[in-house]
Amino acid sequence: MIIYLWLTLFAIFAGSYVTFFSYLRSHSRKPWGLEIDPGFAPSISVLVPAHNEEKVILSKLENLKEVAYPKDKMEVIVIDDFSSDQTLSLARSFVESNPTLNVKVLHQETRQGKAKGLNKALNGCSHNLVVVTDADTCWPSDILGKALPYMSDPSIGAISGVMEAKNAAQSWVTNAEGNYMNFMSTWRLGESKIHSTIRFEGCFCVFRRQAFDEFDDKSGADDSGTALRIIQNKYRAILIPEARTKSEVAFTFRDRLRGKVRRAVHLAGLWVQCLSLLARRRLVMPKRIAVPEIILSLFMPFIFVALACLTFVVSIYYPIFFLALVISLAVATSIPIVRNYLVQAIFDQFILFYAVILNAKKKRFITWEK
């Protein structure tokens, strides 16, 4: 009886993920069906939130200076969130020595978090399209030329790029994160081809001013939370696979764990919002995206934990079955790519479980740390 229960839970868990990912992957290969003007090159405001970024702020501004886009159509606004290092002074010195690039530097007198800083900068934006990028992200020079034409379609309220691990070969932690990013890119693209994704990345995001009032400063997920607001305002929020950026990711297990927990808590909170909107029949996002995401993010982690606990029980009462399971796992994990995804899947489920618990306790991460 216990074995049948284990098999049932495993079938529910594995079947749900395989089915939904297969569905998204098939859609990721379909055409967009959008009205895209390849020559679309509007004026833009680029927002760079920063907190203790003295090691990268100058290279970031130099990177923006080298982007292949008309400088008379681009303003850059650096928002310093009460840094305790030289971030503010370095940004100001860059402005003085680079008059050809229109750069403004704003400063928050107290630490208020990224979203509060973005909203402060939003009030000073001169243009309709607002681009947000992290200070530690490096753009290829042609990213704006590839991505902005998607905003020529009036149905698009926001676009997000793909972040690649710049230091993927540094350690097993960075390698695993690189594999996870590739997997999620397909996931996000599939949702985007269907309608929208709220899984936005701070490396590169473009927002249409008419599509939202202000950045989400309540959930802690300023990028994904704002994407959800835009969808609720009846626009689409999509991933652009051509918009690829590079950023160094945490190379220690502890730092990676902290970052993923913070991200998971924010996303769990957003799916709770979606569940509430769905219950009140106010959710604009298509149910074929929202319902599976809600189930996988909020409920499936509990099935996984129950499955993990049941595995210990099965190992006690049915050692032969447990031995067969161990042998099967050993064979599967002998293939490197299978091992990477399997370890990542187990790791992520425990993080999701912990994140749902923290979210239930109203835990939020409004400010960010290096």
Instruction: List Cβ neighbours of 40 (8 Å cut-off, separation of 6 or more).
Output: 148, 149, 151, 152
Average pLDDT over residues 328-336: 73
In the chain, how long is the greatest CA-to-CA distance? Answer: 74
Q: Is the pLDDT of residue 339 over 70?
A: no
Enumerate long-range contacts of 312-318, CB under 8 Å, 24 or more apart. 313/2, 314/2, 314/3, 314/6, 317/2, 318/2, 318/3
Q: For residue 198, is it within any domain?
A: yes
Cβ atoms of residues 79 and 47 within 8 Å: yes
What is the tens place of the pLDDT at every residue in 71-105?
999 999 999 999 999 999 999 999 999 999 999 99
What is the tens place of the pLDDT at every residue in 235-257?
999 999 999 998 877 767 777 78
What is the tens place of the pLDDT at every residue in 128-185?
999 999 999 999 999 999 999 999 999 999 999 998 877 766 676 677 777 778 889 9
Q: For residue 155, is it within any domain?
A: yes
Q: For residue 273, is it within any domain?
A: no
Number of domains in the chain: 2
- DSSP helix/strand/coil, 159: strand
Cβ atoms of residues 146 and 243 within 8 Å: yes
Domain identity same for 160 and 193: yes
Predicted pLDDT of residue 12: 95
Average pLDDT over residues 267-274: 94
Domain identity same for 153 and 92: yes
Q: Is the pLDDT of residue 369 over 70?
A: no
Q: For residue 270, is it within any domain?
A: no
Average pLDDT over residues 338-352: 80
Among 256, 290, 308, which residue terminates a domain? 256
Domain identity same for 182 and 202: yes
Average pLDDT over residues 41-69: 97
Degrees, nearest 5: CA angle 228-140-39:
75
Boundaries of domain holding 352: 2-26+278-360
19: pLDDT confidence band, cut at 50, 70 and 90? very high
Average pLDDT over residues 11-32: 96
Q: For residue 261, is it within any domain?
A: no
Return d(Cα 287, Cα 291) in angstroms, integer: 5
Predicted pLDDT of residue 261: 87
Domain identity same for 342 and 313: yes
What is the tens place of the pLDDT at every residue in 201-233?
889 999 999 999 999 988 878 899 999 999 999
Q: For residue 264, is it within any domain?
A: no
Domain identity same for 21 and 42: no
**Residue 131 burial (10 A CB sphere; 0-12, 13-18, 19+):** buried
Domain identity same for 194 and 45: yes
Predicted pLDDT of residue 338: 66
Q: For residue 352, is it within any domain?
A: yes
Which structure tokens are listed for 163? 């972040």
| Average model confidence (pLDDT) across the chain | 90
Domain identity same for 155 and 236: yes
At 63, which CATH number? 3.90.550.10
Q: For residue 128, is it within any domain?
A: yes
Domain identity same for 72 and 135: yes
Domain identity same for 61 and 80: yes
Q: How many residues does the chain have?
A: 370
More confident site: 370 or 215: 215
Cβ atoms of residues 302 and 295 within 8 Å: no
Predicted pLDDT of residue 170: 67
Among 225, 256, 287, which residue terminates a domain? 256
